[in-house]
Every structure is written in C-alpha cells, then in structure tokens.
Structure 1
Amino acid sequence: MIFAAIADWADAKEYSVEFMCAELGVSTSGYYAWRTRPASARARADEALLRLIGVIFERLKGNPGVRRIHAELAAQGHRVARKRVWRLMRGAGLQGRHPRAWKKTTIHGQRPVSAPDLIGRDFTARKRDQRWCGDITYVKSWDGWVYLATVIDLHSRRVVGWAVADHMRTELVTDALAMALRQRRPKGRVTFHSDRGTQYTSNDFARFCRKNRIRRSLGRTGICYDNAVAESFFASYKKELIHTRPWPDLESVKKATFEWIEMYYNRTRRHSTLGYLTPHEYELGFRHIHELAA
C-alpha cells in the first residue's frame, strides 16, 4: 500500500521518490523492485473488471451508482462483491448522478372531490394492469415550459403511458391514459391513483375515467408520499435525462423522452424495488437477478 501511494504521488510529480521513501521508512530499491514486478492475478482481474464496469457505466445513461453497476454485473453472470465494485469505481472516479432539490408543481383543485384514496401508500399490485398511478412534471426549454404526464403500472413499475405537451390542460393526462389503454388493453377495471391536481379533479377527467372503466383514487392534499412512485420516477427522469443538457424546444424533449422511457427506463434501467430487475424482465416473470444469467 505504501509503494502504491508513492507511485501515485510520483506519477503526479508531487514529490520525489527518494524523499517519499525516506519519509515513509521504505527503501528506494524496494520501491523500484515493486514497480517493475509483474501485476498479480488479482490486479489483472481488477483491471479486466474495471474495463467491464466502464462499458456498463457508459451504456447506462443515468451515470449509475455502485448498486446498479453491481446488479448489472450480476445479471451478466459476474459474481463479485459490491465493496470491490465500489473500490474500483471510486479509484476510477466513476460516480452516479444525484437528484436536484424537488420543487412542488401540483395545482390543487378547488372543488370538493368524492374519490377516495384506494392505494393508501401500498404501491404494489399482484398482477399487471390492476393498479396504475400518474402525475405531471415540467421541463424548461428555450421556447418555454414543456410538461410530461405519465401512467405507471404498480406491478412492474413500467411506464405504460405518457404524453408531452406545451400545456397542463386535462387532455395532457387523458392522452397519457389513452396511450396506456391502447398499449395494455386491460381485461378488467383499473385503479388509477393520482394527486389532487386540477387536471385529475376536473369533470372532463371524471368523464374519461367513467367511459373507460377506470376507478379513480386520489391522495391527500399536499402529501407527496401519497403518490411516491410517480414522484420517484420524475426524480430519476430529471436527474438522468433532463438535467444533463439544455432543451431547445418541445420536439427535442418529446424525442428524448420517448427514447429514455421506452428504450432505457422500461427495458434497461434496473430498479431497486424490483430487486434490480428491469420492468420488462419483471413482466417476463423473472423474480431474482441471478435467474438472468442462468
């Protein structure tokens, strides 16, 4: 470890080798013998593993942290300790992105609404297309604000419907729900959970839900935890996509959102809630990440 530290400092030209060896109580001949010694099998294995980690880090667009890198390695059949992955990533300066501060955007409806909270913070579902949830978030572009509405299946955390527009009218959320209905064609009635924003408490939204046999569920006013899955999705969306670059206009946001949701979030990004499976893998019936490498 002492020789490795000396090598780092020497390569950075911070101190001379002779000075460091004298200060740390080791011989210069011992250091140069260590420096010219062939790499150990462990060091060679670490080097190969770090190359693989670098490829995974580059492929996963959200700059994943240690847990997701470790999960991706496991899915590929590599049984390594998480601490080893942490050590190699730290040494290579590979670090996941962190979310920015959350900002409240919900505009609460003024009229009293009779729809109950049918979820009660139980964000699970035994089967697909039993319980969905949704919300709206915003993106600032050079041309003005752009809004995204989503529909998420609580069984697999898959985004089954979404819509992007330059407004927050009720059709934004009904368009997202309409996409979900087209893609999933649920056999029975679906419970859709949301906050009490004006779009979800409007008469137009109520009519849409009645027409499509959707059972409405509303969280309490001002309690973000009552719609935690939707909030968590938006935190990832902002951190891993929106905050990585400027956005010229509505079309650029829509195109990137399509690619991020349909190609990355649903099929590639590993979810801690699902045991680091992707929503696609979970809906295929996998329940443990090591099953993928079997």
Structure 2
Amino acid sequence: MDCGYRMMSEYLKREGYTINHKKVFRIMKSAQLLQTRITRDHSNKKYVKHRKVKTTRPLECIEMDIKMVWIPQKGKNAYLLSIIDVHSRRILKDYFSFNIKQKQVIELLSGLFEELDYPKNVVIRSDNGSQFIAKNVREYLSLVGVSQEFTHIATPEENAHIEAYHGTLKREVFTKFEYFTFGQIEQILKKYVVFYNNKRLHGLLGKITPMEKWEKDKHLICSREKVA
C-alpha cells in the first residue's frame, strides 16, 4: 500500500491499534517506507509560444506524454510514457510500467540522450504532469543542455504529435488486440512501435514511414560538437 504516515495511522486505528502519527512516522522512516515528496519548481517556467510546431530537421523539437492503459488481470491502469520526434514522427523511446515517476522520466531521457548525437538547441515539450514539472527533471534537462517548455492547461493541441500517436495506439492496438495481462500488451506494444516506425506510412510525411523521414533529413542535424 502506497500512502503517507498520517494515512497509515488512520488505517492502523481502524484495525484497532492505538498509536499516534508521530510514532508511525518514526517506524516508517526507519523502514524507509516514507513517500518521496515531489518538488515542483514553478520558477522561470517556460510555456509554448506557438501551438503548431514547425520544424526543419529531426531533433528540433520532441514531445513526451503519458497514456493510461487498462490491464484487465490487475483491474487497474498501467502507464505508457512515449517520446516522439516532431519532424519525423519517429518514436524515440518509451517506457511501460504500473508506476511512472520523475525517476523513470529522467532514466528514459538519459538513455535517449546517450544514444543520440543531439543538437544544442533541441526543445522538449510536455504537459504539466507532476513527473514533468518536478524540480529534478527540470534540473536534469538543464544540465544536459535541453530546453524544456510546457503546454498551457487544457490545450492538448499544443502537444499534438504525441497526442496523435497515443490516439493511433488506441485505434490500432488497444481496441483491436485482445489482451488480459500486462505482459501480453507489453509485447504487443513493443512490436507495434517497430511497425509504426519502420512500416506504417504517414500521410502528413508524404506517405513515407517515420524512419524514412528520419533517414532522409538526419543530415540536417548538427551535433553539439559542430555547433560549439
């Protein structure tokens, strides 16, 4: 059970235990069961200036978002974190789990930036989810030289490309494939991402695949060393 010490005190009282919240705090602290508080940093928060993103090359702008995925066996949602390159529509990285917090966001981004020779002026766009506005995430992106911008509240069109991808997943995966367990849909998602990037034609790209668009325009990406 994932809860704070005050809530745990109430659970214990309901079970007939006489114990105050201070003692519960000490016990949970010694057992390392206290929840980690998410520190939200609203200072110098940069919002998107243009709702529609116009790009000239890959890795000019990337978008990330989290989608809930219902798991029948567990009777609860899992979460899919996806990162898309706006220019090519290539899915650069994703992570599927029952629990996605700032730690998992940083780990996914770290893996992505270690794999790619990314330019200095890449921008990453997201909504205002607690995982994305967390201080540690913002500090990490600043450390690796990636600009971060946030969509305005209730404006999914400002994150249109990743929203469109998750909509495609709903139509082509979640409503078409039968699955019961987390492992089953996880394997389906892995295969679909490969198909989406390498086989699925995209009308707005001129009826080519995301990887074909990436390969066609990747020479326009200036590495950090070349820009410096």
**TM-score scaled by length of structure 2:** 0.70
Does residue 285 of structure 1 match 2:213? no
Q: Is the 8 A contact 2:77 2:98 kept in 1?
A: yes
Alignment partner of 1:208: what SS?
Answer: helix
Runs of 5+ consecutive residues of structure 2 not aligned to the other structure:
1-38, 218-228
The partner residue of 1:175 within 107, 119, 137 is 107
Q: Is the 8 A contact 1:149 1:163 kept in 2?
A: yes
Shift of 1:113: 5.0
* 1:110-163 per-position Cα deviation (integer Å, ceiling 9, x unaligned): 763532234512323211112111100011112232111111111111011111
* 1:163-212 per-position Cα deviation (integer Å, ceiling 9, x unaligned): 11111312333233233213323132421001111111111211221222
Q: Is the 8 A contact 1:160 1:179 kept in 2?
A: no
How many residues are treated as equivalent by the alignment?
177
Does residue 162 of structure 1 match 2:58? no
In the TM superposition, 1:25-174 aligns within 5 A as 112-118=42-48, 120-141=50-71, 142-143=73-74, 144-174=76-106
What's 1:61 paired with? none
Aligned sequence identity (%): 19
Normalized per residue, the structure richer in helix is: 1
Does residue 186 of structure 1 match 2:122? no
Separation (CA, whole Å) in 2 of partners of 1:135 and 1:215:
16
Larger of the two Rg values belongs to structure: 1
The partner residue of 2:188 within 256, 263, 267 is 256
Separation (CA, whole Å) in 2 of partners of 1:247 and 1:208:
36
Runs of 5+ consecutive residues of structure 1 not aligned to the other structure:
1-108, 287-294
List 4+ stretches of structure 1 deviating above 3 A. 109-113
Does residue 267 of structure 1 match 2:166? no
Separation (CA, whole Å) in 1 of partners of 2:107 and 2:181:
20
**TM-score scaled by length of structure 1:** 0.56
Task: Check 1:176–1:238 CA distance in 2 against 1; reply closer, same or farther (3 A cut).
Answer: farther
Alignment partner of 1:285: what SS?
Answer: helix
* Greater RCO, CA 8 A, separation 6+: 2
